[in-house]
Structure 1
Amino acid sequence: MKKKHIVAALLSITSLTATAATDTAKLSLNRNNIKVWTYQTENNPIIQYRAETTFDVPLERAVAVVLDVERTPQWVPYVGKAQVLSRDEKKGEFILYMVLDFPFPLKDRDLVIKGKMSKNADGSISIKNNVIQNNYPEQPDVVRLTKYTGDWTFQRVGNNKVKVTTTGYADPAGSIPLSFVNMFVQQQPYQMLMKMKKEVNNPLYAQPHLPDLLK
């Protein structure tokens, strides 16, 4: 498997979200076949989200986009860098370093993520990510995130159709205006899935290559 093909925690990485019961969720956006739910929990004041859509491509093609770490900054808003630090193809595990490029005057964020990919009994594919403490050097004027989880789920709903769901949680740390956080949580997943809709049709993924454990 090529170096670039390792689970990109990306994507849901930029979600300022938290685990919560979906029955409290509010449908905040429903546009261009993309739905974004936002909600809050008692113990977390940050608005959370879950987003989903469908693409008219095979499941494998959508998964291949998320696994292509080198292209993550091309289609995931605010991701400035994504780098694979290590991987275990047999276990489906990886460690990833990512930088979030926030607009001035906000400081950029970075984090180290441990992720795991798996194929479920129903044929769907899951990617689960969690931040870890790591000795990767901290960068000047970049805030290191220490609280984050995020998931991607890919479910086949036809021969050439896949349902994609992304969720996550991240404490953005530092000082960020609430107005930016709220905008970020509602708009970022929508923009990401809109760009992913174009990316899944990139000729690069015409013959997607997935790790053996996902086949």
Structure 2
Amino acid sequence: MLYPFTLLLTICFCTCVRAQTSDGFVLQTEDGAVQVYVREESNSDMSVRVITVADADVMAAKKTLDDAASYPEWVHRCDGAYIVAGGTPDDYVYVSGIDLPFPFRDKEVVARIQQWINAEGVLTRTITSTPDAIPSESGRDRLTTYFGEWIITPLPNGEGIKLQCTVRTDAGSGLPGWLRREILTGGPAETVANLRRRLEAAR
């Protein structure tokens, strides 16, 4: 028979193991159908992974993700976005603005999108910061560290799709704790939840 303290340690250990993924992400919150995992990185970076399920299909999700002009309607704190001319439908550069409250300077992301759909119908979409892709003329702080990945998987029997979004960024660098948490964890969770609602409303 385990002593009470030993039993408590065993329970805590098992709980932590269940809440952590194999690549080090730890479950932070679970609000309804949206799960938010976090992983601390070097410096002030943080990786966040958000997972949910939507009643939609992969191509509808891809179409929405490619519509940069609509980002302010559902992407957290986005106040404008556009695709830079010269790419291809599955390999292009985009710019997205991040609106911050006064007195903090607004930020922007300039990143390269590369995406493909495999034989199983899974869409993988990577977003890699390319801060020197276009001249900086906005007066905003351009992020140098930003990597994102969308993996959108069709569920069996046409029962919808699994949305998984992973982001690593230094967008919270130099900001107070409350705003850093909002941008780094609350922002991705709200964005994915908004995307799910947007996709389901269009069915």
- Class of the TM-score when normalised by the shorter of the 2 chains: 0.7 to 0.9
- C-alpha spacing 1:160/1:136, structure 2 compared with 1 (3 Å): farther
Deviation at 1:183, TM superposition (A): 3.1
SS of residue paired to 1:107: coil
Structure 1 stretches of 4+ with a deviation exceeding 3 A read 44-47
Q: Note closer, same or farther for the CA distance 1:119–1:180 as it changes in structure 2 (3 Å cut).
A: same
Tell me, which stretches of 5 or more residues in structure 1 are unaligned?
1-20, 207-215
Higher strand fraction (1 or 2): 1
Q: Deviations over 1:15-36 (max 9, x none)?
A: xxxxxx8543221111121100
Q: Aligned equivalents of 2:99 and 2:184: distance in 1?
A: 15
Map Cα deviations across residues 158-182 of structure 1 (whole Å, 9 max, x no partner).
Answer: 3141001001212227631133212
User: CA 1:22/1:45 → structure 2, altered by over 3 Å: closer, same or farther?
Assistant: farther
Deviations 1:55-76 (A, max 9, x none): 0122222222212211111001
Equivalent position SS for 1:195: helix
User: Any residues of structure 2 matched to 1:163-174 within 5 Å, and which?
Assistant: 163-172=162-171
> TM-score, normalised to structure 1's length?
0.76
Give, as a single letter, the amino acid of the residue that structure 2 aligns with 1:200.
L
- The CA distance in 2 between the partners of 1:44 and 1:129, in whole Å, is 21
Task: State the superposition RMSD in angstroms.
Answer: 1.9
Greater helix share, structure number? 2
Contact 2:172 2:180 in 1 (8 A): no
- The equivalent of 2:125 in structure 1 is 127
Distance of 2:180 and 2:97 partners within structure 1: 17
Q: Match of 1:209?
A: none
- Asked if 1 retains the 8 angstrom alpha-carbon contact of 2:44 and 2:172, the reply is no
CA contact (8 A) 2:46 2:168 kept: no
TM-score of the pair, normalised by structure 2: 0.80
Structure with greater contact order relative to length (CA < 8 Å, sep ≥ 6): 1
* Change over 3 Å in CA distance of 1:184–1:137 after alignment to 2: closer
Structure 2 CA distance for aligned equivalents of residues 117 and 72 of structure 1 = 18
* 1:70 counterpart residue number: 69
Which structure's CA Rg is the greater one?
2
Q: Distance in 2 between matches of 1:117 and 1:48?
A: 20
2:27–2:35 contact (8 Å) kept in structure 1: yes
Structure 2 stretches lacking a partner, 5+ long: 1-20
